[in-house]
């Protein structure tokens, strides 16, 4: 048995389907490219039958991803499988992942099917999936609460029908590590054709055991792990990719397994996901939390200064967490600026470069030191603003302990300036109210307003995230500026623009919101 572990990333499917983590096509594509660069082996790109948008996103990912296998999810239903087959058609390597529940509870109440009907459906779905690709994964949904004999029969049936990977999900996060590991060992012992396939883990985190269960699965013969960046996913999430990978890397004595992950890209990928979804990880989150490498107590700091290994089991560099680099100064020229952006992997056309350079000069006047993070925030702010219908122009705010707090905002809508001054219950309330008055959107609700500092210091740029919800749709907007209130206005306007795009796609006749 090989000691290589296949990393199957489901950030864009199980992760994306959790509340508040929805991404649009460009965001999914950006994440997929980043996951490919991180070195994941399989990208589960979505559930194509769920909506035309999901189908389109998976097809685009299939076309653009260079190395990873691109996978689409399908229930044991012909229409689902056909849609998955079509969505991955243009992938260099495409996989269909089909699943059906096998636990008594799910079969009786959810599927209302007998065990024999489920076995029959497994054969039909896997055989049909094989007509689209040779790479077919089959999952026993709620496997951890499935009776052992029936799980063995279901797995054997899927392998006979042509599945090449068999996934054993702990769908409801109910297992404990010894039990989950024993289940994988039991399958190896009792399923006669099991040597023909890769066994995979898929653990949810309802009891905080997803990573521990996945590692127990590996120790007992699983050679694929399904996981997500930052552990996002249904309810309490899925097993966190970064935790599994770093556990394997840090403890080869106990866990002698390799992955193809370039761990130095973990921080970048984790931050990208947080920026896109507005879901920040908790500060004490393992590996990628803001405090994961911070030593606060005097005793620890003293120890680390004498020898870092006293309190550090991994280096920050190993996950790509380097000290903020001072990169640019007020007098840096356009040429050096362009070069720096190229180093940071940004390709901008001349107009965009001109815009970002002008904003960099304004920022350099306000902020003593410009770090890489500042440039990234500036460029990302510029890129998300391209082609916006509503553009932020300027803002004046009156804030403070004695009211009234007011906001006077100017927005440009399709070439025409609109200006308004309103009072609010605080400056942010006044800003958002002013935007609503200029561009009414009464059905949209503010679901999240979040401020982060891009770097340290009181002159740091603020990065604001706004989530707006309207009916079933949610959108995330972002804005960055040294003035938190300007960043807030930019973020709200960005979210509003995305809401308009979504509406127009759904109902192209409608002119306004």
**Four-CA torsion 37, 42, 47, 53, nearest 10 degrees:** 20
Residues 294-323, one symbol each (x = binds ligand KIV by CB under 6 A, - = not), give: ------------------------------
Q: Is 230 in the site for ligand KIV (CB under 6 A)?
A: no
Task: At 278, list the tokens.
Answer: 């507005």
- SS3 string, 182-242, reads HHHHHHHHHCCCHHHCEEEEEEECCCCCHHHHHHHHHHCCCCEEEEEHHHCCCCCCECEHH
Cα separation, 278 vs 455, whole angstroms: 17
Q: Measured between alpha carbons, how far apart are the two ends of the chain, in Å? A: 58
C-alpha to C-alpha distance for 95 and 81, rounded to whole angstroms: 11
Q: Pick between residue 143 and residue 292 the one whose CB is nearest to ligand KIV.
A: 143
- Please name the residues in contact with 125: beta carbons below 8 A apart, sequence gap of 6 or more: 74, 76, 77, 81, 98, 100, 138, 161
Among 11, 133, 139, 263, binds ligand KIV (CB under 6 A): 139
**In this chain, which stretch among 167-175, 181-189, 353-361, 449-457 interacts with ligand KIV, using CB under 6 A?**
167-175
Q: Does 14 bind ligand KIV (CB under 6 A)?
A: yes
For ligand KIV, the closer of residues 167 and 270 by Cβ is 167
* Contact call for residues 411 and 438 (beta carbons, < 8 A): yes
Say whether residue 80 binds ligand KIV (CB under 6 A).
Answer: no
Assess 202 for contact with ligand KIV (CB under 6 A). Answer: yes
- Tell the smallest beta-carbon distance from residue 204 to ligand KIV (Å): 6
Instruction: Work out what residue 15 binds among Zn ion, ligand KIV, none; the CB cut-off runs from 5 to 8 Å by kind.
Output: none
Residues 5 and 218: beta-carbon distance below 8 Å: yes
Instruction: Quote the least distance from Cβ 449 to ligand KIV, whole Å.
Output: 31
Question: By rule CB under 6 A, what string of x and - marks binding of each residue 171-190 to ligand KIV?
Answer: x-------------------
Q: Which is nearer to ligand KIV, 238 or 259 (CB)?
A: 238
Does the N-terminal peptide bond of residue 129 adopt cis geometry, omega within 30 degrees of 0? Answer: no
Q: What interhelical angle do 78-87 and 52-64 show, nearest 10? A: 40
Which among 473, 335, 291, 361 is positioned nearest to 496, based on CA atoms?
Answer: 473
Nearby residues of 105 by Cβ (< 8 Å), 6 or more positions away: 142, 145
Size of the site for ligand KIV (CB under 6 A): 9
Distance of closest approach, residue 141 Cβ to ligand KIV, in angstroms: 4
Nearer to ligand KIV, 87 or 431 (CB): 87
Closest separation between CB of residue 28 and ligand KIV, Å? Answer: 18
The first and second tokens of residue 172, run together, are: 């409801």
| Smallest distance, ligand KIV to C-beta of residue 224, A | 12
Stretch that binds ligand KIV, among 31-39, 106-114, 166-174, 474-482 (CB under 6 A): 166-174
Least distance from Zn ion to the Cβ atom of residue 511, Å: 41
Select from 46, 85, 94, 169 the one that contacts ligand KIV (CB under 6 A). Answer: 169
By CB under 6 A, tell whether 99 contacts ligand KIV. Answer: yes
Among Zn ion, ligand KIV, none, what does residue 139 contact (CB within 5–8 Å per kind)?
A: ligand KIV
- Residue 141 contact among Zn ion, ligand KIV, none, beta carbon within 5 to 8 Å by kind: ligand KIV
Q: Of 14 and 36, which has the nearer Cβ to Zn ion?
A: 14
Among 141, 156, 373, 481, binds ligand KIV (CB under 6 A): 141
Minimum separation from the CB atom of position 14 to ligand KIV (A): 5
Please report whether residue 48 would count as binding ligand KIV according to CB under 6 A. Answer: no
Binding site for Zn ion (CB under 5 A): 14
Nearest Cα to Cα of residue 142 among 121, 178, 168: 168
Binding pattern to ligand KIV, positions 232-271, x when CB under 6 A?
Answer: ----------------------------------------
- C-alpha closest to that of 377 among 468, 486, 265: 486
Q: What is the spatial distance between Cα 96 and Cα 78, in angstroms, rounded to a whole number?
A: 12
Q: Which is nearer to Zn ion, 234 or 381 (CB)?
A: 234
Q: Which residue is nearest to Zn ion (CB)?
A: 14
Query: What residues contact 373, with CB distance under 8 A and at least 6 apart?
Result: 324, 454, 455
CA distance 286 to 319: 12
Name the region of 398 (left: φ>0; alpha: ψ -120 to 50; beta: rest).
Answer: beta
Q: Nearest approach, Cβ of 270 to Zn ion (angstroms)? A: 20
Which residues have C-beta within 8 Å of that of residue 120, sequence separation ≥ 6? none
CA of residue 201 relative to chain centroid, distance = 19
Residue number with CB closer to ligand KIV (71 or 407): 71
Residue 47: CB minimum distance to ligand KIV, A: 9
Closest approach, Cβ 29 to Zn ion, in A, equals 22
346-375 positions binding ligand KIV, by CB under 6 A: none
Applying CB under 6 A, does 201 fall inside the site for ligand KIV? no
- Cα gap 392→254, rounded to integer Å: 55
Catalog residues that contact ligand KIV under the rule CB under 6 A: 14, 99, 139, 141, 167, 169, 171, 202, 204
């Amino acid at each position: 048995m090989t000691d290589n572990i296949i990393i199957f990333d489901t950030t864009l499917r199980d992760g994306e389907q959790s509340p508040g983590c929805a991404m649009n096509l460009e965001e999914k594509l950006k994440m997929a490219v980043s996951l490919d660069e991180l070195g994941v082996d399989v990208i589960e790109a979505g559930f194509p039958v769920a909506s035309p948008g999901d189908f389109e996103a998976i097809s685009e990912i299939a076309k653009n991803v260079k190395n990873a296998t691109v996978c689409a999810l399908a229930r044991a239903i012909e229409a689902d499988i056909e849609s998955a087959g079509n969505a991955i058609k243009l992938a260099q390597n495409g996989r269909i992942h089909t699943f059906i529940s096998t636990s008594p509870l799910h079969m009786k109440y959810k599927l209302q099917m007998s065990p024999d009907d489920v076995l029959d459906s497994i054969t039909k779905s896997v055989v049909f999936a094989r007509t689209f690709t040779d790479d077919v994964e089959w999952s026993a949904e709620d496997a951890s609460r499935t009776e052992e004999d029936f799980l063995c029969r279901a797995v054997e049936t899927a392998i006979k029908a042509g599945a090449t990977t068999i996934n054993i999900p702990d769908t409801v996060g109910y297992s404990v590590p010894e039990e989950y590991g024993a289940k994988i060992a039991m399958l190896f012992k009792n399923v006669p054709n099991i040597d023909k396939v890769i066994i995979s883990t898929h653990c949810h985190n309802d009891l905080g055991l997803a990573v521990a269960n996945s590692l127990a699965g590996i120790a007992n013969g699983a050679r694929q792990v399904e996981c997500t960046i930052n552990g996002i996913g249904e309810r309490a999430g899925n097993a966190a990719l970064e935790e599994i990978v770093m556990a394997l890397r840090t403890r080869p004595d106990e866990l002698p397994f390799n992955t193809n992950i370039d761990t130095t890209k973990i921080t970048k990928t984790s931050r990208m996901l947080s920026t896109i979804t507005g879901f920040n990880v908790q500060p004490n989150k393992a590996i990628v939390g803001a405090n994961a490498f911070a030593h606060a107590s005097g005793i620890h700091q003293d120890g680390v200064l004498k020898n870092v290994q006293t309190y550090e089991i991994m280096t920050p560099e190993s996950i790509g967490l380097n000290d903020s680099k001072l990169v640019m100064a007020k007098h840096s020229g356009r040429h050096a600026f362009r070069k720096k952006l190229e180093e940071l992997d940004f390709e901008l056309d001349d107009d965009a470069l001109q815009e970002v350079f002008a904003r960099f000069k304004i920022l350099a006047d306000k902020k003593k030191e410009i770090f890489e993070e500042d440039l990234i925030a500036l460029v990302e702010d510029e890129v998300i603003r391209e082609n916006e219908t509503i553009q932020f122009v300027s803002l004046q705010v009156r804030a403070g302990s004695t009211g009234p707090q007011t906001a006077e905002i100017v927005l440009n809508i399709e070439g025409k300036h609109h200006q308004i001054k309103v009072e609010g219950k605080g400056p942010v309330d006044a800003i958002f109210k002013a935007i609503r008055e200029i561009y009414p959107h009464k059905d949209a609700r503010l679901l999240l307003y979040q401020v982060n500092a891009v770097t340290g210091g009181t002159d740091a740029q603020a990065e604001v995230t706004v989530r707006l919800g309207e009916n079933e749709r949610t959108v995330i907007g972002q804005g960055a500026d040294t003035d938190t209130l300007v960043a807030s206005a930019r973020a709200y306007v960005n979210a509003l623009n995305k809401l308009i795009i979504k509406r127009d796609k759904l109902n192209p006749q409608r002119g306004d919101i």
